[in-house]
Structure 1
Amino acid sequence: MTVTHPTIAIAVPLQAELIAAIRASSPGITVLYEPELLPPERFAADHAGDPRFQRSPEQERRYWDMLMSADILLGFPNDNAAGLARIAANPKLEWIQAMASGAGGTVRAARLSAKDLDRIAVTSSAGVHALPLAEFAMLGLLGGFKRVPELAADQSAKHWPELRTPTRMAQGSHIVIAGLGEIGLETARLARALGMTVSGTKHRVGPIAGIEEVAPSAELPRLLGTADALINTLPGTPDTERLIGAEVFAAMQPGTVVVNVGRGSVIDEPALLAALDNGQVGYACLDVFAVEPLPADSALWGHPRVLVSPHSAALGATENQLITERFIENLQHFLAGAPLLHVVDPQHFY
């Protein structure tokens, strides 16, 4: 990194106080932000903004002129892969800080050339969403352990069962986390606080404090032989495509709880439905899906032991603030010529 007085363009909606924090963070930087060129947020951290928003031809020209003048971008243009593909034509561009933790999927979808992937560093917001996703994973675990679907069905029917059914305890249970990255480790921390033991998988296998066993993904079926629950936090890559399929479900104990806060492409949804129907999976809490929005004809919508969440588990009122803090931290690295944090791997896209 050689630019000492970079121009930074904000490509997505962001609160005025956070723009001010970026401007105040480093002398010599220029921060370009024109809110009238960006779609209004409908909720906190709505980086795509209102889809009804349209720029006039003049506004469209101004938007792209602003981005094409930048050395650094905060956010993908128009928050999508097409915008990323177009901005690669900016010869000055050195670095893009993505708003998403799983930015690799967008980078892959943009189909950038090897030269552009080498020239433009893309960093993700990995870790920013770790705690809300870990909390959602605990919701899923406890929802399955405490028989929430059955309780909801009885309440809807105004049915008080003659025989009360015991629920499962978190204390003493064993869970497997597919993907012991920042989200996985935060999930493990909360699980251990509830008295669970944790094993899991990681691309680079090595001991991790508090984790019973760390193994490669190929050994996931073996790990699940004694587990009460599986939590997926893996990103969507060619290597993880439908990784959790029929073989993995068959290796589970009957009634295993499955939670997905990673990417929908990791779970083979037809195999999951079969495992739900044959009892291998007792409950599934899903925040992500192979196709989003989840198609209306998906059997997951109406399954009595599935909770469907519309990819909203990571959302929180402080998300933009945390992403901005991550960006400012990375900006100091950029200005010092130090390695950037959470760079998306341009080959594996995670």
Structure 2
Amino acid sequence: MSDINKILITGRLYREIGEALESKISKEILCLPEDKVTEKELRCADAYVAFKPTDNFAFYNIKWVHALGAGVDGFLFGRQWKKDVLLTRTICSFGKKISEYCLSYILSDLQHHREFKKNQQEKLWKQLTPASIGSQTILILGTGVIGSEVAKSLSYFGAEVIGVSLSGKTVNYFNRTIKFSDVQEYLSRVDWLINTLPLTESTQGIIDDNIFKYLNSAGFINVGRGSTLNEKALLKALVNNNIKIAILDVFPAEPLPLESELWSNSNIIITPHISAITDVDEAVECFLNTLTGIESGETNLKNKVSIKKGY
């Protein structure tokens, strides 16, 4: 790839990232809000840096697109990608942040936080015995950077952690990994199901009745992508007690529409896509590391996206 000289930065954090980069690289940097990006700026850019494409996005002369989040479905899902354009993503400590998010809600449930809060309001002294994470069997959909970091944290506390991927290839921190085609035989003994899958053509709506109906009062956490989940199937699973509690951080439409049934379900906890928020320092560090790798001719960038796979 030839040198990157003109970098267009847009979307949330565009100003802060631009200011941080000015003293670190000798490049022409243009920072604009999404609604101010015109064809002129897109045509001039060698690199495009953002959380998602602008509505008028086109490749023109762009050689490199760098996503400021871990998910890249905004760039790839339902779009035709220009084959000679490099796509990279921001990963950094996202896996650690998401593992802490998952751990917090699992501990809250095992320690009966909701029950004790309710009992306090009713001035009821009633002992409940907390359970240990080490007693839990946890199945994680997706064994990539984020899934394996979640497995690392949970396995540290002694949980049995099963990973699910298309290949079933062995990955560190999982007690075992299985193919997605074999997942149903494990679901009946799972205490928690955690989704870290990206959104691709093959994962859209993949978590549905064919998953939920085999669960037995399990907890469900979605930190992958909202559109991988069939929400109607989830609501049905809650009614049937296949799922006892659902913690949802991602949704097909964000913000979650006011008319969504998810808001009013007492067994659903909704968070506004905060399990791994990109901060300026990490965004800048990851961008600079990637830029250095590109300009030094590195071909095996750890955050390079496979266009074919979609992640």
Name the TM-score, length of structure 2 as normaliser. 0.89
Which residue of 2 is the match for residue 95 of structure 1? 64
Residues 128 and 96 (structure 1), Cα distance of their counterparts in 2 relative to 1, 3 Å cut: farther
Higher strand share: 2
Spell out, residue by residue over 1:281-335, the C-alpha distance to the aligned partner (whole angstroms, 9 max, x if none).
Answer: 111111012332222232221212211011122126xx22212211111112211
Residues 102 and 5 (structure 1), Cα distance of their counterparts in 2 relative to 1, 3 Å cut: closer
Residues 209 and 343 (structure 1), Cα distance of their counterparts in 2 relative to 1, 3 Å cut: closer
> What is the rounded CA distance, in whole Å, between the counterparts of 2:76 and 2:24 in structure 1?
24
Which residue of 2 is the match for residue 118 of structure 1? 83
Any conservation in 1 of the 2:92–2:286 contact (CA below 8 Å)? no
Q: What SS does structure 1 have at the residue aligned with 2:82?
A: helix
Matches within 5 A, 1:224-239: 224-239=187-202
The offset of 1:235, in angstroms, is 0.7
Any conservation in 1 of the 2:6–2:44 contact (CA below 8 Å)? yes
Any conservation in 1 of the 2:69–2:90 contact (CA below 8 Å)? yes
Any conservation in 2 of the 1:81–1:107 contact (CA below 8 Å)? no
Residues 154 and 95 (structure 1), Cα distance of their counterparts in 2 relative to 1, 3 Å cut: same
Q: What SS does structure 1 have at the residue aligned with 2:193?
A: strand
Query: Does residue 53 of structure 2 align to residue 80 of structure 1?
Result: yes
Residues 143 and 284 (structure 1), Cα distance of their counterparts in 2 relative to 1, 3 Å cut: farther
Residues 134 and 14 (structure 1), Cα distance of their counterparts in 2 relative to 1, 3 Å cut: farther
Structure 2 counterpart of 1:310, from 248, 256, 272? 272
Which residue of 1 is the match for residue 283 of structure 2? 323
Any conservation in 2 of the 1:133–1:314 contact (CA below 8 Å)? yes
Aligned AA (1:298): S
Which residue of 1 is the match for residue 141 of structure 2? 178
Aligned AA (1:31): E
Name the TM-score, length of structure 1 as normaliser. 0.80
Query: Does residue 197 of structure 2 align to residue 200 of structure 1?
Result: no
Matches within 5 A, 1:95-174: 95-109=64-78, 111-112=79-80, 116-155=81-120, 158-161=121-124, 163-174=126-137
The offset of 1:134, in angstroms, is 1.3
Residues 106 and 5 (structure 1), Cα distance of their counterparts in 2 relative to 1, 3 Å cut: closer
Aligned AA (1:105): G
Which residue of 1 is the match for residue 172 of structure 2? 209
Any conservation in 2 of the 1:130–1:182 contact (CA below 8 Å)? yes
> What is the rounded CA distance, in whole Å, between the counterparts of 1:20 and 1:100 in structure 2?
21
Structure 2 counterpart of 1:19, from 18, 21, 26? 21
Any conservation in 2 of the 1:138–1:191 contact (CA below 8 Å)? yes
Q: What SS does structure 2 have at the residue aligned with 1:294?
A: coil
The offset of 1:177, in angstroms, is 0.7
Which residue of 2 is the match for residue 334 of structure 1? 294
> What is the rounded CA distance, in whole Å, between the counterparts of 2:104 and 2:211 in structure 1?
23
Structure 1 counterpart of 2:29, from 29, 32, 35? 32
Structure 1 counterpart of 2:219, from 234, 245, 257? 257
